[in-house]
Amino acid sequence: MTKIKHALSIIMIAFLLVLLSGWSFGQEDYTREEKQLFQRYQSASKRFEKGKDEFGKGKIDKAENDFNECLKIMPEHADAYFMLAQISYKRGDLEKALSQMETAEENYHVIVKMKMNMEQIRIMKMQDARNAGTYDERGTQALDQRLTRPVATKADIPADYHYIHGNIFFKLGEYQKAYDMYLQAITTDPKHNDAYNNLANICLMSKQYEKGLEYLRMAEENGVKVNEKLKEAILKAARK
């Protein structure tokens, strides 16, 4: 690594530490409660990751148990509520799914702070390894990529949260609320495929055909695949 590149890495680390100063273990204002919360997050996340794996394999009951165990350790674990909301949705318990989704969103800011701390620790460990000469070139490149990518500095609720929330509202027949959630999803992530298609579908249902076509055009402009049958249905309806 050149001297300039090394210096830039040091600057980026310093910048990262400034951003995270309120949540750094080295800071005196990092309270005992905050340290304990982070320790609970580390422990709870092990059960969460296990639950995600089970969920991906279709083992819903086991996944649900792991997410509930995760919440016993850290009741503020927003991602666990997010996954439980999807399980409740699959089972048709929409009111429960809605409550879990709202709780997930209320607590998401806590998860962001925890993830920022985890990233800080990873970067510091990687930097220590490089300084000790135990990193190969690939490890050095991984560190540089972490240092140059944007650092999350606020608790923006993810697009998938809005999308799932929208699906729950849709199933409940609250189409305007579903529409608003899908709109937030594509605002957060302009490449969210399913949110675009669901927006267009609501427009078809409400006979707002031109608006539906506009969402499908926006999707295509962002390189997102649209549902061709849905597009054809809106075009056909618009011609009548």
Domains of the chain (ranges; CATH) run: 3-148 (1.25.40.10), 159-239 (1.25.40.10)
Reduced to 3 states (helix: H, G, I; strand: E, B; else coil), residue 184 is helix
Q: Which pTM value belongs to this model? A: 0.74
Q: What pLDDT does 151 receive?
A: 45
Low pLDDT (below 70) residues in the chain: 1-31, 116-155
Q: What pLDDT does 135 receive?
A: 56
Q: What pLDDT does 234 receive?
A: 95
Q: What is the largest CA-CA distance in the chain?
A: 72
- Contact assessment for residue 215 and residue 227, using Cβ atoms and an 8 Å cutoff: no
Nearest to 30 by CA among 112, 113, 109: 113
Q: What pLDDT does 31 receive?
A: 65
Q: What pLDDT does 17 receive?
A: 42
Q: What pLDDT does 152 receive?
A: 45
Q: Is the dihedral of CA 5, 6, 9, 10 positive or negative?
A: negative
- Other Cβ atoms less than 10 A from the Cβ of 163: the count is 22
Q: What pLDDT does 10 receive?
A: 42
Give the position of tokens 């794996």: 53
